[in-house]
Amino acid sequence: MGPGVVHLGMENEKKVGAIGKPGLMWDARIVNDVGEDVAQGEVGELIVKGPGVMKCYYKNPELTASTVRNGWLRTGDLGRLDEEGFIYLVDRKKDLVISGGENIYPVEVEEVILKHPRVHDCAVIGIPHDRLVEVTCAVIEPLEGESLTEEEVRAYCEEHLPRYKRPYRVVIDKVPRNPTGKIEKPKLREKYSKGA
């Protein structure tokens, strides 16, 4: 949970999936790439401002300038704001896949694939494509002792995902995670982007 974001308690059960509202002395906005507020409900980057926002990266003015602008911290998180001001995170900005002009949020595809009864883990990444610029690649790790084929995954996705969100490429492999449990997507991009 980010700085200044209030944890939702039982009184806000209807806001399932929301991370909360800005806390006391904090402001949050959802903006486009040029820093303009997006319409309510639209996805953009979450930026925050408040007394705990970092001032700079140590000895790195270029990174500071691209991350902190006029006191607003660009979090790198994509989110949306509802009519009551609650914030919902969608994905990380760097993980967004733009394929043929469509925005695909990998976490949405991962959530669907993870519901398959024989899937243990899943990571969706963008890989280069000549015509569409980028396409999705789903790396899927079956449950221990189970087998899963690319065809089975594709059939499952056809049933549960709209066409543009279905993985272009499906790979059955181990999903690498770092010691804190975060998927190591840069490693996957490096491994599966070759010859894409």
pLDDT digits (tens, 9 = 90+) for 88-111: 999 999 999 999 999 999 999 999
Q: Are residues 74 and 111 in the same domain?
A: no
CA angle (96 as vertex; 91, 100 as ends), nearest 5: 145
Q: Are residues 179 and 104 in the same domain?
A: yes
- Count: domains in the chain: 2
pLDDT tier at 10, thresholds 50, 70, 90: very low
> Are the C-beta atoms of residues 113 and 106 closer than 8 Å to each other?
no
pLDDT tier at 15, thresholds 50, 70, 90: confident
Q: Are residues 189 and 100 in the same domain?
A: yes
pLDDT tier at 30, thresholds 50, 70, 90: very high
Question: Quick one: pLDDT at residue 14?
Answer: 74
Please give the residue range of the domain that contains residue 116.
96-193
Question: Quick one: pLDDT at residue 3?
Answer: 47
> Are the C-beta atoms of residues 147 and 181 closer than 8 Å to each other?
no
Q: Are residues 104 and 81 in the same domain?
A: no
Whether 2 maps to a domain, the answer reads no
Q: Are residues 108 and 162 in the same domain?
A: yes
**Greatest mean pLDDT range, 3-7, 13-17, 130-134:** 130-134
* pLDDT of 185 higher than 50: yes
Q: What is the CATH number of the domain that holds 155?
A: 3.30.300.30
Mean pLDDT of 52-81: 94
* pLDDT of 1 higher than 60: no
- Other Cβ atoms closer than 10 A to 188: 20
Domain edge (last residue) among 51, 72, 92: 92
Question: Quick one: pLDDT at residue 9?
Answer: 45
pLDDT tier at 133, thresholds 50, 70, 90: very high
The dihedral over CA atoms of 149, 151, 155, 160, expressed in degrees to the nearest 10, equals 60
